Amino acid sequence: MSTSPKPVKKVPIHLQSAQNRVYIKNGEIVNHDKSFKADVYIEDGIIKFVGPSSEITIPGGVRTIDASGLMIIPGGIDPHTHLQLPFGGAVAVDDFYHGTRAAVAGGTTMIIDFVLPNKHESMIEAYDKWRSWADPKVCCDYGLHVGITWWSKSVSEEIGILCKELGVNSFKTFMAYKGLYQLNDSDLLDVFERIRHLNGVAMVHAENGDIIAKNTQRLLAEGINGPEGHELSRPEEVEAEAVHRACVLAHQAACPLYVVHVMSKSAGIELARARHRYRGRYIMGETLAAALGTDATCCQHLGFDHEAAHVLSPPLRPDKTTPEFLMKLLAK
């Protein structure tokens, strides 16, 4: 069997120019601070010019796109994906190829996925495993957060290696998933202090896992075992309490904190209060498109498959005013 590399299809030089040189004219450029009319010239994937057409001479062999009446926006960065993730005996249906291909089609040019080691698994080995899944498949830029799913001296040492040698500077912790990923407050403080010393960012899934475990036992004893029991096991105050506690713990450790998937008005209020209390230092947060676009009432009484397809943690909330409320928090 030959080990020679496969032949590369040669592209005629005039087509190479059209692929490598793109001129976008007459569009409305939208940046983070302002929008304005301008043309854009791109060569070899690098933006070479932004400005009026009178200030640039376009070389030959360029693919021209007329963006009249259209907006030109930067590629999006999705900082929270779970591609090819094994969890609860299943694996996420989108692998790194299909997930990033869909991302690029929608204008997202970078994702940040999560390495989630099993308890007692080496952080470095888990990181290498995720890289082996992603590297051959990704269609766009990507980075990796790493979950701290258990805590020990070896974990502390390994996250130092991840940060200093492998370019990982964000680490996810869990206050939920009791018996699987959940850390207690003492461990969280140790983790936050270690991350601070590494100049990293701590991330947290903020729900009170002990309350959820108790509620789950009660609901199952009452015969509630369908998708409707998911939100009942983790109501708003269970999320809000954890958000408040996570912010206090991170502040005590002087560690930057990124609260993932804020899904309720109560949790959003706690995050906003913490940002105000600490004058915007340390505390950041995110919500999900699902939380902004819908609520739990959309899937009630429509059958198991429909309801189960809307299960996520923290869950969609039954309060119909939640999406608008979260959108206003984002605007602030």
Residue-wise pLDDT tens digits, 46-78: 899 999 988 988 888 899 999 999 999 989 999
Residues forming a β-bridge with 205: 174
Calpha distance 176→260 (Å, rounded): 12
Average pLDDT over residues 289-303: 86
Amino acid identity, residue 70? L
What is the CB neighbour count within 10 angstroms for residue 42? 18
Calpha distance 275→270 (Å, rounded): 9
**What is the tally of helices (H) and strands (E) in the chain?**
12, 14
Q: To the nearest 10°, the Cα dihedral for 190, 196, 202, 204?
A: 40
Residue 327 is predicted with a pLDDT of 97
In degrees, rounded to 5, the angle at the alpha carbon of residue 79 between the alpha carbons of residues 47 and 90 is 130
Residue 19 is predicted with a pLDDT of 63
User: How does residue 14 score in pLDDT terms, banded at 50, 70 and 90?
Assistant: very low
pLDDT tens per residue, range 36-48: 999 999 988 889 9
Q: 45-48 contacts: CB < 8 A, separation 24 or more?
A: 45/20
- Is residue 11 over pLDDT 60? no
pLDDT tens per residue, range 104-137: 999 999 999 999 999 999 999 999 999 999 999 9
Task: Give the position of tokens 């475990």.
Answer: 213
Average pLDDT over residues 320-328: 96
Crossing angle for the helix pair 265-277 and 322-331, nearest 10 degrees?
Answer: 20
User: How does residue 88 score in pLDDT terms, banded at 50, 70 and 90?
Assistant: confident
Residue 5 is predicted with a pLDDT of 44
In this prediction the pTM is 0.86
Average pLDDT over residues 137-151: 97
